[in-house]
């Protein structure tokens, strides 16, 4: 009740190629607002499910092939491994926070507090109250070590999403991730200016700027630069 639409990203946990995501609507009336219809085009009448117009059928075929290859049992097994990995990571961060409260000195590991109660494969965390670590700079340090953490705002935080790629190999991803997090935090404690440039200034600015309209203009300018020849 109350849910009008739902996004299903088949290119994520469905293990299909990008571009095959699905939007489910509660009613045909709601879905109609997504359609693009043109009645006065010189080429005749035109109707498309989205503004994108023609879409490659190959993407739909790859999504179907991925689902047929995985099957219900395959998706259930993958989900089980993802949940186990996420729970391990959440508990490890909690223990690190508790130990950090009792450790002193510049080499101590500052606290990382888990946000909410992660039950699935997404774990969000922020710097604890007494920690001065800039999580956006921590993100840049982790990126340099080839980890992909997503930046969050309000509050400033990061999150890590486990996928099938993290549980299919023999490497202990959780242990390595935590070790790299500790190294990154130690570097920032020793030198808060250890990171310059990167994404930290942009995310830091957006998190403290109350004028969201100005942030929207900044995003438009950023997109213009990305599309420049």
Least confident of 18-22, 71-75, 204-208: 204-208
pTM of the predicted model, to two decimals? 0.57
> 207 vs 221, which has greater pLDDT?
221
> What is the CATH topology of the domain spanning 72-208?
3.90.1150
Stretch(es) of the chain classified as CATH 3.90.1150.10: 72-208
pLDDT bracket for residue 97 (50, 70, 90): very low
Inter-helix orientation angle 135-144/200-208, to 10°: 160
**At residue 213, does pLDDT exceed 70?**
yes
Predicted local distance difference test score (pLDDT) of residue 118: 72
């Amino acid at each position: 009740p109350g849910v009008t639409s739902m996004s299903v990203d088949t290119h994520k946990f469905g293990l299909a190629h990008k571009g095959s995501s699905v939007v489910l609507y509660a009613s045909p009336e709601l879905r109609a607002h997504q359609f693009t219809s043109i009645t006065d085009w010189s080429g005749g009448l035109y109707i498309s499910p989205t503004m994108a117009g023609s879409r490659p059928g190959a993407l739909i075929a790859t999504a179907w092939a991925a689902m047929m290859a995985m099957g219900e049992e395959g998706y259930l097994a993958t989900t089980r491994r993802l949940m186990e990995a996420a729970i391990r990571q959440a508990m490890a961060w909690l223990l690190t926070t508790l130990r950090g409260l009792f450790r002193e000195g510049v080499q101590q590991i500052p606290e990382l507090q888990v946000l909410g109660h992660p039950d699935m494969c997404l774990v969000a965390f922020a710097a604890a109250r007494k920690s001065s670590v800039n999580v956006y700079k921590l993100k840049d340090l982790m990126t340099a070590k080839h980890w992909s953490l997503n930046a969050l705002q309000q509050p400033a935080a990061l999150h890590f999403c486990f996928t099938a790629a993290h549980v299919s190999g023999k490497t202990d991803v959780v242990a390595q991730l935590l070790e790299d997090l500790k190294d990154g935090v130690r570097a920032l404690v020793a030198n808060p200016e250890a990171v310059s440039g990167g994404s930290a200034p942009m995310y830091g600015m957006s998190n403290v700027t109350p004028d969201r309209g100005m942030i929207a203009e900044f995003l438009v300018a950023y997109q213009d630069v990305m599309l420049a020849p």
